[in-house]
Amino acid sequence: MSGGVDSSVAARLLTEKDYDLSAVFMRNWDTRDESGTETGCEWEKDWEDVQRVCTLLDIPCKMVDLSRQYWTRVFEPALDEWAEGLTPNPDVSCNREIKFGALMDRALTTPNQWLATGHYAQLRWDTLDPTHARPMLYRSADRHKDQTYYLSSVPESQLHKALFPIGHLTKPEVRELATRYSLPTASRSESMGICFVGEKGHFNQFLSQYIPPKPGRIVDTNGKDLGAHRGLWMYTIGQGARIPGLTTKMFVARKDAAANELVVAPSDHPSLFCTSVFVSSWHWIWDDHPPSSVDSPTGLRASVQIRHRMSEVPCTIFRRKGGVFEIRFEQPEQGVAPGQIAVVWDGEWCLGSGKIVDTTCLE
């Protein structure tokens, strides 16, 4: 339980089932660890809300401190990628390494235990082999809140032990149930922060505490000098680049880490439109049974998202040498950056994901 309304309603729904319930709250970040003062104890409010809900539901709860695991498995690797000019998605690795990794390992001590969360996702089961039912990760009923993107790298073995009690509900329905059940978190506002950080209003300012400035030049696609930047990690491909003195609005087209240059272009420039991406560290949820068509000349027809906040787009996927996959978009896409996670679906069924290592654009 996180202290939010989603996990609170998930817990309440499970009280209606024949389960022996207990709750666990995961502490993963505390600014007091950095500052050494009593300011910044955001997790304490969450923990208080978890205890209030559990008291109402009459289920035991405990707190597990996984901040060290967060630091080493999620935060430090993400820092390294930001420093290299990449655009990582820590929430994907957070779910794989922490929530359904370290936390699941810590919480589940016997075979007949499951970890239920408030994620907006659904599990269906393939029963072609009656002796070995396999979990299939499906989108939630609420497409706007769907979180299968973030769960796309969780292994099948971990999904086998997961429950998503609110996956069949929409967010308004969850809110309505929370009010009906008089849960203390019914009116709590929604957290939109990054998994390991929480809600930090000025993210670049936050990262600057860990990544030193590395000034470089801002250039156009012809190499013309337009200004200076303070660090490639402060920019995302596709975002507007504020350059004093320019009358034409420019956007980040790419980052040249070797030269420490930020390359910008006007909004209609071909360098902003990508036709395909190359993806490594690929994870099929059914790792032993990838779709055979990825090795065919025509490839695997599927849909893909390269960001959580986007609609899926049609694509074709090909397996290349060295464990790399090529994903070709049906139409050119903007805002595509190395480091992002590309997640693929067959209809509503999430097949897996990988990390973008290179892009092919119109120029």
- Residues assigned a catalytic role: 94, 195
15 neighbors 57 (Cβ within 8 angstroms): yes
CB-CB neighbours of 101 under 10 Å: 20
228 neighbors 218 (Cβ within 8 angstroms): yes
The tokens describing 139, both together, are 């989108």
Q: Which residues pair with 280 in a beta bridge?
A: 355
Amino acid at 363: E
Orientation of helix 171-180 relative to helix 5-14, angle to 10°: 60
Q: Helix, strand, or coil here: 358?
A: strand
H or E segment at 114? none
The tokens describing 298, both together, are 């025509």
Write down the residue that tokens 């996959």 correspond to: 325
The tokens describing 188, both together, are 């709590």
Terminal C-alpha separation, the chain: 47
Q: Which residue, 42, 41, 59, is CA-closest to 1? A: 59
276 neighbors 145 (Cβ within 8 angstroms): no
| Degrees to nearest 5, angle at CA 311 with 309 and 313 | 135
Burial class from Cβ neighbours inside 10 Å (0-12, 13-18, 19+) for residue 25 reads buried
151 neighbors 119 (Cβ within 8 angstroms): yes
Widest distance between CA atoms in the chain: 68
From CA 37, how far away is CA 173, in angstroms rounded? 40
